[in-house]
Amino acid sequence: MSAVKRFLDKIMLLDLFAGLGITAKNMFKKKVTVQYPEERWEPAHRFRGMFRLDEDRCIKCTICARDCPIDIIYIDWHQEVNPETTKKEKVLDRFDIDVQRCMFCGLCEEGCPTEPKSIWLTTKTYELASYDRWSNLYVDMDELQEWKVRPAYTDQEIS
Amino acid sequence: MAAPEIAALESIRQTLGDTLFYYGFSPLVKIAVLLFLGILPLITYLVLAERKILGYMQARVGPNRVGPWGILQPIADVMKLLVKEDTLPKQAVKWAFILAPCLVVGPAFIIFSVIPFGPVAKPGAMSWFITDVNTALLFVIAMATIGVYGLIIGGWSSNNKFSLMGGLRSAAQMISYEVPQGLALVGPLMLAGSMSLVKIVEAQSGPGKMWFVFPQILAFFIYFVAGVAESNRNPFDLPEAESELVAGFHTEYSGMRFALFFLGEYANMIVISAVATTLFFGGWLPPFGDTFPVLAVVPGPIWFALKVFVFLFSYIWFRGTFPRYRFDQLMDLGWKWMIPLALFNLVLTGAIKLIFFPHN
Amino acid sequence: MSQPSQPVNLSFDDSHDGLFAKGEEMELNFGPQHPSTHGVLRLKLKVDGERIIDCYPIIGYLHRGTEKLFELHPFFQNVPHTDRMDYVAAATNNLAYVGAVEKLVGLVVPPRARYIRTILCELQRISSHLLWLATHAIDIGAMTPFFYMFRERELILDLFEQYCGARLTLNCMRPGGLPHDLPVGWTDKCRELVEMFPAKFDEYEGLLTNNRIWKKRTVGIGILPPEVAIDYGVTGPMLRGSGIAWDLRKAMPYEAYGEVEFDVPVGKNCDTYDRYVVRMEEMRQANRIIAQCLTKLPEGPVMAKRPRVMKAGKDSEVYYGIEGPKGEIGFYIVGDGTPNPYRCHVRAPSFINLQSLPELAKGYLLADLVALIGTTDIVLGEVDR
Amino acid sequence: MSDEQDAKPPGEKPAAKPKPAHHEEDPNKPVWEKDPTAPEWQDGSSDPLAQALKEEFGDAIESARSFAGDLTFQVRRDAIAQVCASLKTKHAFTYLVDVCGADYPKREPRFDVVYHLYSFAANRRIRLKVMTGEDTPVPTVCGVWVAANWPEREAYDMYGVRFEGHPDMTRILLWEGFNGYPLRKDFPVEGIDTGSAIYPEYYEPSAGPVAGTGTGWKPAKPPAEPVEKPS
C-alpha cells in the first residue's frame, strides 16, 4: 500500500507541489523588510552602539583604556587644584576613542568602576557610516560627551 | 474582437494597393508595434514582475524605490545596462563574442512573427498576427534551436573555463530537450491536422472541440518542462548556475551584451509560454468554449495575454521554489523519461485518432 | 531519527561509467572569489569535463593570526577575538574559550549562568544551522529557503541583541560566568520563539526534504564512511551524518547538558542528505533543550567570584572542547603564571572538517562540489583564524 | 530618541557583584562564591594506560602526568609515530583531535608538538607531547591518522617544526615564501618586512613595506597629538 502511495506521489509530483504551495502561501504573509531611511529599526536597550562619556563621573582611572583589547582609547590627565573646593582633582586632557578599529565588544564599559558607568555604549546608534574615517570615526572628549544620534545623511549633507 | 478597422488604414490600403499593403506595410507596422509596444516593454516589466513576485514569495517586498512600487525600476535597469562599460576580454574570440548575444535574441524575437495573438481579421482589416505560415510549427522549432547556438558560442568565445562549461551544458541541454519538445508538439499537430498555428487554435474551438491540453495533458506537460529547460530557467538553469559556474556562459559579458542575453532569456520564456498557450490552451479563445458567451466579450488578445501571464507566473514560481538539477540528472530526465513519454503519447494519440476518428 | 525514504545507490561511479568517458584533464581554479565558496576558500581542481579528479584546497586568505593575538592579551580580553573566528557561531566560540580558561584557573560557574550559557549556545546552534541550510540550499539552487531562514535567524539575533547588545559578535561570556543577567521579559520572548520554531522547521522541510530535485542532488553524494570520517577527525554533524552517535554534549556533558534530555540524531547512508537530515533534527533537539532550560532556569548569580586579574598557574595547560554547531571546537591553553595565555591553540572544527573535502569530492561532478562545500559547513574565519 | 541618548546609561548592574571579602570563608558558601582553586600537576604513571605504554615503549615515554584530568605523556621524538600507532590500534584512540606546536624559546630544544587524542570507547582524551628543535624533524603521524595532515602543516607553518615523512610539507595558512614563522615568540607582533621576500621582482632586498607603519594591527604608539580634524 505504501509502495503504491509512494508511486502515486511520485507520479503526481506531490513533493514538488507541496513546495510550490509553501512559496505561494508565503506570498500573502507579512513581509519583514524594513524600509530603512523611512522606517528605522529600534535597537534593544543593551545595544552596543556608539560611545558616550560622562566626564563628571569619570574618575580617570584609565581602566577602560587598559581593558580595551585593541588599545584604541587614549587618555591623558593631569592633577590640578579645584579653586572652589581647594582639593586636588584629576582633570582630563584627552579622552580619544579611535572608533575606526573599535569592535564594540563593550569591555571598556564593563571595566568602568563608577556606578553608573562613565563610559558606555548603549547609545542605540548604528548609523556610523561616514565618508571620511579620520574625521568622523576618531572621536574626542567633547564629541563623546555631546554625542547625539548621528543623523543619517541627508541630501543636503552629501552636497 | 474585431481587428482594428480604422478609416486611415483603409485609405492607406487604397493608396498602396493590396499587395504592398498586405505584404509590406501591414507586417512592418505590426512588427514595430509588437516589438516596441509589446515584447520589449513586456520583457522589461517581466523582469520587474519576477523580482516583485520572488520578493513576495521570499518575505520581502522586492524593488520599490524607483517610482511608486518600483514601476520605473526596469527603466533604471535598462539605463544602467546601456551605459555600463562593455568589456571585451583580450583573449576572447571577438567576432563570436559579439555575435553570440545577437544569436540569442534574434531568433527569440523572430518566433513572434508566427504567433497568433488574436483571431484572423475579416477582409479589409489587419489580423492579430504578423504572418500565418502553414509550416509555422516547424518554424518555431527551428528558430528556437538557433538560440542555443548563441549560448554555446558565447560560452566558447569568452575564453573562460566556467563559460565554456556553461556553453557545453547548454549544448547538452539542447540535445536532450529539443527532442521531447518536438515530439510533444506533434500531438496537437495530429489533432489539428495542420502546422499553421492559426489553424491549430481554430481547431480547438467549435462544438465538440476542446483545448488540446485536455486530450494532450502529457504532451503539454512534456512541452512545458522541456520549455523551461530550453529557456534555461530554474530548476534547469544549469548553463548559468550561478552557484556553480559563477554565471555560466555569460560570465565575461557585461553591459549591453549581457542585457541582450538577459533579453533573450526572457523573450524565450515568453515564446515558450505563447506557444504553449497557442497549442494547448486555445490561444485567443475564451475558456469553457461556448458555454459562457459572456466570456467572449473580452477580446481574444486579452485572453491570450492572460494565459501567457499564467505561464510566466509559473516560471517565476518554479524559480522561487525549486533547487537546481545536476546536468547528468537533467539529461537522465530528458532521455529516460521525457522522450519515452513523448513517444508513448505520440503512439497513443495516433492510435486513438486512427481508430476512433479515422476521417477527421 | 528519520531516514531517507528511498534506498540509496551507493555505487555512484559504476552506474555512470558509460556517461563519462575519459577525456582530457583540465585544471580549474575554483575560488577564492566564487559565489559558493562561502568566503575565500580556493580549490585547485583537476577536472575531466565536469568530473572532479583531484581537489586541493588552498586556504589562508582570511588568516589574521588570532592565536598570536591571544598571546598578547589577558584572558578576559580574548573573548571578543573568539567571536571573530566562527563568526556565525560566536556564543559557542566564547563558551569553548571561557570553558578552557575556567578549567585552567579552576573556576566554577554558578548554575544560573550554566543554564543561560546552554540556552545561548543552543540558540546559536539553531542560528548557525539556519545559516548553513540557507547557504546550502542556495548552493544547490533553491533560492527561497535562504530568505525564510534569514527571517527566523533575525529573531534569534534579536534575542542575542536584547541579551548582550550585539547580534553577531556577541562577546557574551566571561571566564567565571556571564557579563549580564537576562533582561526582564527575555525568557518569555525566548519561549515564544521556541514555540514558533517547530512549525518553521516543518516549512523548511516542506520545501526541501521530500523534494525530488533536492534528493537527487544530495542522496548518495559525498559519502563519508564512518571509519574514514574518524580517520579524518571530522566532528559534529559531519560525523553523526556518517552514523556515529558521538556528541560531546553527551560524551562529556558540560554546562547544563547533563541535566536536560535530548537525542543525538545519526545518519545511515553517510551522504549529504543524511547530514542535512541530521542538522535539521539537531535544530529540533536544540529547540527542545532550550525549552527545558527555560523551564529549569534557576535563580541566583551569574558570575562566580573571580580575581580582577586572572592568572593561570605556572606551567599549566588544558584542552577544553565543546560541541559547536560545526563540530568539536576546542581550545588548548598553556599558562605561564602571567595574566596572558602563553599559548592558545584553537582546534577549529571547520579547519579539520574541510580537510576531508578532497576525499568527499573526488569522483563527483562540479555541481556536487558546491553541495559538498555546503555540507561540510565551513566558515572561513575559523578555517584560517 | 535623543532623549534616551542623554539619559543615564541603563543601570545594568551585574547580578553577582563579588561580596566584600570576609576573613574566614563560610563553609556553606556555594563553590562559585569561593576563591577558585587552580588545578595542580599530578603524577599519572599509575594510570593503566601509562603503565601499558611504559611497558611497551620503555624510555620513549619520558613522563606521564595529569593536569585538570588530562593525562599528558611526554614522548621521545623518534618514538611518537610508533606510540601513536600503538595508541590507535591497541588502546582505541581512533580520533586525533588536534596537533599543534608551542614555542619555549628559553628551553632547549625549544618547540613542543602537542597531540590530543580521543578514544570513543573509553570516552577519554589524552595528550602527547614531543620536544623538538628547529633542525630535528618529528616523525609524522599522517600514516596513523589522515587527520594529522593539515594540523601538522599548520604547526610547520606557524613554528617551522618539520615533520618527517609528511606527504605535503608546505605552508598552509601563509604563502610559500613567507619569511619567518609567525607564532614563534621572537616573531614581531607588528609584522615583518616581507617586501623582497615575496616580490623580489618589485623590491630590493630589505626594501618594501616596512613593518609597524600603521598598516599593522596596532600603531607602535598612540597618536601623540589628538588627530587634527578638517573643519
Predicted confidence (pLDDT) per residue in B91-103, tens digit:
888 888 888 888 8
Maximum distance among all Cα pairs of chain C, rounded to whole angstroms: 70
Q: Which residues have CB under 8 Å from C327's CB, separation 6+?
A: C234, C235, C236, C237, C238, C239, C349, C350, C352, C353
Flag whether residue A110 sits within 8 Å of chain C, measured between CB atoms.
yes
Are A70 and A143 members of one domain?
A: yes
Are A95 and A132 members of one domain?
A: yes
Q: Say yes or no to pLDDT of B252 above 60.
A: yes
User: C352 and D151: CB-CB below 8 Å?
Assistant: yes
Amino acid at D76: R
What confidence category does residue D206 fall into, taking pLDDT thresholds of 50, 70 and 90? low
Q: What strands lie across the sheet with D111-119, from one edge to the other?
A: D41-43, D61-67, D70-75, D124-132, D111-119, D95-103
Q: D3: which chain A residues are within 8 Å (Cβ-Cβ)?
A: none
Mean pLDDT for all residues in chain B: 80
Q: Is residue A58 part of a domain?
A: yes
Distance CA C374, CA C271 (A): 12
Domain that residue A120 falls in:
52-158
* pLDDT averaged over 10-residue windows placed end to end, chain A, 159 residues: 76 78 84 82 80 80 84 82 79 80 84 80 74 72 65 36
Mean pLDDT, rounded, for C306-312: 79
Mean pLDDT, rounded, for C158-170: 87
Q: Say yes or no to pLDDT of C11 above 70.
A: no
Q: Say yes or no to pLDDT of B13 above 60.
A: yes
Q: Is residue B29 part of a domain?
A: no
Q: Is residue B88 part of a domain?
A: yes
What the block records as the C-alpha cell of C68 is 598570536
Domain count, chain A: 2
Q: Residue B15 has what pLDDT?
A: 76
Q: Domains of chain D by range and CATH?
A: 38-172 (3.30.460.80)
Name the more confident of B124 and C354: C354
- In CATH, what number is assigned to the domain containing residue A129? 3.30.70.3270
User: D10 and A52: CB-CB below 8 Å?
Assistant: no
Predicted confidence (pLDDT) per residue in D55-73, tens digit:
888 888 888 888 888 888 8
Q: Is residue A98 part of a domain?
A: yes
What confidence category does residue C20 fall into, taking pLDDT thresholds of 50, 70 and 90? very low
User: D16 and C303: CB-CB below 8 Å?
Assistant: yes
D and C in touch (3+ CB pairs within 8 angstroms): yes
User: D98 and C307: CB-CB below 8 Å?
Assistant: no
Predicted confidence (pLDDT) per residue in B328-343, tens digit:
888 888 888 888 888 8
Domain that residue B203 falls in:
7-11+81-356
Residue C38, burial from CB neighbour count under 10 angstroms (0-12, 13-18, 19+): buried
User: D226 and A140: CB-CB below 8 Å?
Assistant: yes
Are A64 and A141 members of one domain?
A: yes
Flag whether residue B54 sits within 8 Å of chain C, measured between CB atoms.
yes
Q: Is residue B349 part of a domain?
A: yes
Are A66 and A11 members of one domain?
A: no
Q: Is residue A42 part of a domain?
A: no
Q: Is residue B2 part of a domain?
A: no
Query: Which residue does chain D place closest to A141, by CA atoms?
Result: D226
Residue C78 has what DSSP assignment? G
Mean pLDDT, rounded, for B120-137: 69
Residue by residue, DSSP assigns chain D as: -HHHHHSPPP----S-PPPPPPSS--TTS-GGGSPP----EEE-TTSHHHHHHHHHHGGGEEEEEEETTEEEEEE-GGGHHHHHHHHHHHS---EEEEEEEEE-TTSSS-EEEEEEEEETTTTEEEEEEEEE-SSSPEEP-TTT-GGGHHHHHHHHHHH---EET-TT---SSSPTT--S-TTSTTS-TT----HHHH-TTTS-TT-SSPTTSSSSSS-SS--SSPPP---
User: For the ranges A144-148, B264-268, C43-47, C162-166, which has the lowest average pLDDT?
Assistant: A144-148
User: D229 and A135: CB-CB below 8 Å?
Assistant: yes
CB-CB: which of B59, B246, B323 is closest to C214? B323
Q: Is residue A41 part of a domain?
A: no
Distance CA C274, CA C375 (A): 10
Q: D5: which chain A residues are within 8 Å (Cβ-Cβ)?
A: 52, 123-125, 147-149
Q: Residue B8 has what pLDDT?
A: 67
Are A19 and A65 members of one domain?
A: no
Q: What is the ipTM of this complex?
A: 0.81
Q: B318: which chain A residues are within 8 Å (Cβ-Cβ)?
A: 20
> Domain C66-384's class?
mainly alpha
Domain count, chain B: 1
What confidence category does residue B6 fall into, taking pLDDT thresholds of 50, 70 and 90? low
Are A88 and A119 members of one domain?
A: yes
Are A17 and A67 members of one domain?
A: no
Distance of residue A123 Cα from the nearest chain D Cα, in angstroms = 6
What confidence category does residue D226 fall into, taking pLDDT thresholds of 50, 70 and 90? low
Q: Is residue B225 part of a domain?
A: yes
Q: Is residue A149 part of a domain?
A: yes
Q: Residue A156 has what pLDDT?
A: 37
Domain boundary assignment for chain C: 23-58, 66-384
C252-262 burial: b if 16+ Cβ within 10 Å, else e:
bebbbbeebeb
Flag whether residue A135 sits within 8 Å of chain D, measured between CB atoms.
yes
Chain C window 316-355: which residues touch D at a Cβ cutoff of 8 Å? 316-319, 321, 328, 330, 332, 334, 342-343, 345, 347, 351-352, 354-355
Q: Say yes or no to pLDDT of B109 above 60.
A: yes
Name the more confident of D228 and C68: C68
D and B in touch (3+ CB pairs within 8 angstroms): no
Q: Say yes or no to pLDDT of C185 above 70.
A: yes
